[in-house]
Amino acid sequence: MRFSALVVSLCLLLGSFAGIPRSAHAASSSAYAALRVTTTGGGSISLTPGEVKPVTITLENTGTSTWKNDGTGYISLYTYGPKYRTSAFDPGTWLSATQVKRLQEASVAPGATGTISFSLRAPQTPGTYSETFALASESTAWVTGGEITLSVVVAEQQEEVSPAEENTESTASETYTANIVAQTATKLKARAGKPISFMIAVKNTGTATWSTLSVTDASSLTTAKTGQHVSFAHSSWSGKNAVTVQNQNIAPGETATLQFFLQTPQVNGNHSVAFSLAANGEELDGGELLLPIEVTGGSGELASAPAIENVETQFIASVEEPIMRVGVLIVDEETNWEVEIGSQTSDVELRDTDGKLLLTIPKGSNVRAAYENGVYVYGSGTAEKTSSLPLRFVPVTANAVLEITNFDRRVTRGTSFANNTFRNVLELRYNASKDRTWIINELGMEYYLRGLAETSNSSPTEYQKAILTAARTYAYYHYTHVSKHAAEGYLVDAYRDQVYWGYGQEERNPLITAAVEASRGYIVTYQGATAITSYFSRSDGMTRNWSDVWAGSIPYAQAVAVPCDQGKTLWGHGVGMSASGAICMANEGKTSEEILTYFYTGVEVERIWE
């Protein structure tokens, strides 16, 4: 879900950033913006060679300009990544080799939903393809948030076999192995009787495609001191030990995401919960997970301990502060297809992604790096060297500031600030699926929040804490789920998700940094799960139900009255927290927690890391 920068004015010119169809003038990002609502197949399309299949995409107009399907600035879909790419999936019914289809509706007003429908024809070569498209206002601008990537699997149609023939098929060549590549935490601390949402991402490293994937509680659960048997079973489990069973279609090399709940017992102590993963009924080698959980606030070893104040906010799930990976810059013609990186405050080690030290860059110096002709190049002149692995610029002093010295947004994008400095690690990574190279900023969650441009230094403190908690929750949701940007190696996009300007934003807004520290580690949860905390600029006196705007229904995203916005024009999608309404509440003396629990129905605000 895309988050718009709130209160501050965005001066990004899309023309210099992404390119504009038909060489036209750039429009502001607020004029043409979109939020994808639905996609056929959830964005995953399966085809057989030569098969033609229709695809429909619906998008909300979150900008200020009305979309039209004809006349000046009409809305249509182009091939993208790279832009104006000739696609092998054109069935001959597209408008041209690079322009797919126009908007289906004659006009779509801001806040309404529009439709793009087109067909794909699969090539004859089986394989997994990534097809990227982008929405554009003809001769005007690319539509912010209108980039769409489809995962297309082209597979030979399997011949039908009788059950008898199927039973005689040898499966000896199929292997069931896995690698758990991400999980919510490696250990937890939780209050007794509390539901906990947990996520794992598991990669299929075998040769068999997983049609079903299950998680089983394989524990022999005992408390550390008494040996009493306890259970972490949640009411959502499908059996006594069967945590979850999900239908999947995970081919070798692909990654599946599983989210499930645990229910902490009423017995204090250090417990270990063991989980076993299976696919198609076969145990997965490498699919074992042991999770230490410390339970407090219940009966047992702490039963006679002195009462602790504010139990509701102290006894919570405890995880380590997440490390965020932020896509901050596509390395293209804007920087002459290369970057120059160094630090004024720290020596920098240039390493590859295996951790090998390639060279040390002295403080005050910088080094050129690029992806050229299939390899990574670094150094200068005759001293240039190559690496087959992505390059990581790692400051010797943790969280020191790095600078991309040949990139200045004031020059190339007409902004007020260079915004070319970033804390901690910068990584140069090429992505084959989209044929482009990214600079990825890797840093702790709380430093990431300092660099967000979602509010201004002059907004009320309690509002700052509320919006930063909502932003932290959104970022944490992407951290604990397989990201939509996973194929490119990062978690959030610095422009299409939450607007992130890096260290420059932090330096200019010390009160935002103070609000980040004051709300450190707090997120919004609903019945133990991380909430999806959407927010927008301003309501018209009422927020909207999730189901009024997007597909499905979310119990905590319900319409509420916003008296301060009464009589005003809706700016944004209308779901979740109204920024102007939240500012009004803060000015009336409401706390950040009161603001959050008002706009998100039935939620809790909990601190999950220190």
pTM of the model: 0.55
Tell me if 246 sits within 8 A of 201, measured CB to CB.
Answer: no
pLDDT at 291: 79
Residue 305 has pLDDT above 50, yes or no: no
- Range 97-108 average pLDDT: 88
Q: Which helix (H) or strand (E) holds 46?
A: strand 44-47
Task: Please indicate whether residue 12 or residue 328 has the higher confidence score (pLDDT).
Answer: 328
Name residue, tokens 């393809």.
129
Mean pLDDT taken over the chain: 81
475's CB contacts (< 8 A; 6+ apart) are 322, 324, 445, 448, 449, 491, 492, 498
pLDDT at 82: 76
Count Cβ neighbours within 10 Å for each residue of 259-284 and write b for 16 or more, e otherwise: bbbbbbbebbbebebebbbbbbeeeb
Q: Identify the band that residue 478 occupies on the pLDDT scale cut at 50, 70 and 90.
A: confident
pLDDT at 581: 96
Q: What does the pLDDT look like over 167-212, one tens digit per residue?
A: 444 344 789 998 886 565 666 777 777 666 566 777 888 888 888 8
Angle 236-481-257 from CA coordinates, rounded to 5°: 60
Q: Which of 19-23, 204-208, 391-395 is least confident? A: 19-23
- Range 391-397 average pLDDT: 95
pLDDT at 15: 28
pLDDT at 157: 63
- Range 7-34 average pLDDT: 43
pLDDT at 337: 96
Angle 427-430-431 from CA coordinates, rounded to 5°: 125
Q: Which helix (H) or strand (E) holds 517?
A: helix 510-518
Tell me which residue of 570, 569, 578 sits closest to 596, measured CA to CA.
578
Q: What does the pLDDT look like over 420-451, one tens digit per residue?
A: 999 999 999 998 888 999 999 999 999 999 99
Q: What does the pLDDT look like over 496-518, one tens digit per residue?
A: 888 999 999 999 998 999 999 99
Please list the residue range(s) of the chain that carry CATH number 2.60.40.10.
14-154, 185-302+311-318
269's CB contacts (< 8 A; 6+ apart) are 223, 224, 225, 226, 294, 295, 300, 301
Task: Please indicate whether residue 524 or residue 163 has the higher confidence score (pLDDT).
Answer: 524
- Regarding the domain delimited by 14-154, which CATH topology (the fold level of the hierarchy) does it fall under? Immunoglobulin-like (2.60.40)
What CATH architecture is 185-302+311-318? Answer: Sandwich (2.60)
Tell me if 488 sits within 8 A of 494, measured CB to CB.
Answer: no
Q: Identify the band that residue 22 occupies on the pLDDT scale cut at 50, 70 and 90.
A: very low
Task: Please indicate whether residue 333 or residue 200 has the higher confidence score (pLDDT).
Answer: 333
Which 3 state secondary structure label does DSSP give 112?
coil
As to burial, measured by CB atoms within 10 angstroms (0-12 exposed, 13-18 middle, 19+ buried), residue 594 is: middle
| Cβ count near 537 (within 10 Å) | 18
Residue 314 has pLDDT above 60, yes or no: no
Task: Please indicate whether residue 288 or residue 492 has the higher confidence score (pLDDT).
Answer: 492
Q: Identify the band that residue 232 occupies on the pLDDT scale cut at 50, 70 and 90.
A: confident
pLDDT at 98: 85
pLDDT at 227: 46
pLDDT at 71: 84
pLDDT at 37: 61
Task: Please indicate whether residue 403 or residue 24 has the higher confidence score (pLDDT).
Answer: 403
453's CB contacts (< 8 A; 6+ apart) are 5, 8, 10, 499, 500, 501, 505
Q: What does the pLDDT look like over 346-359, one tens digit per residue?
A: 999 999 998 899 99
Q: What does the pLDDT look like over 29-85, one tens digit per residue?
A: 568 888 766 677 556 678 888 888 888 887 878 888 999 988 888 999 999 877 777
Helix axes 461-480, 510-518, angle to 10 degrees: 70
CA distance 512 to 468: 9
Residue 165 has pLDDT above 50, yes or no: no
- Range 385-392 average pLDDT: 95
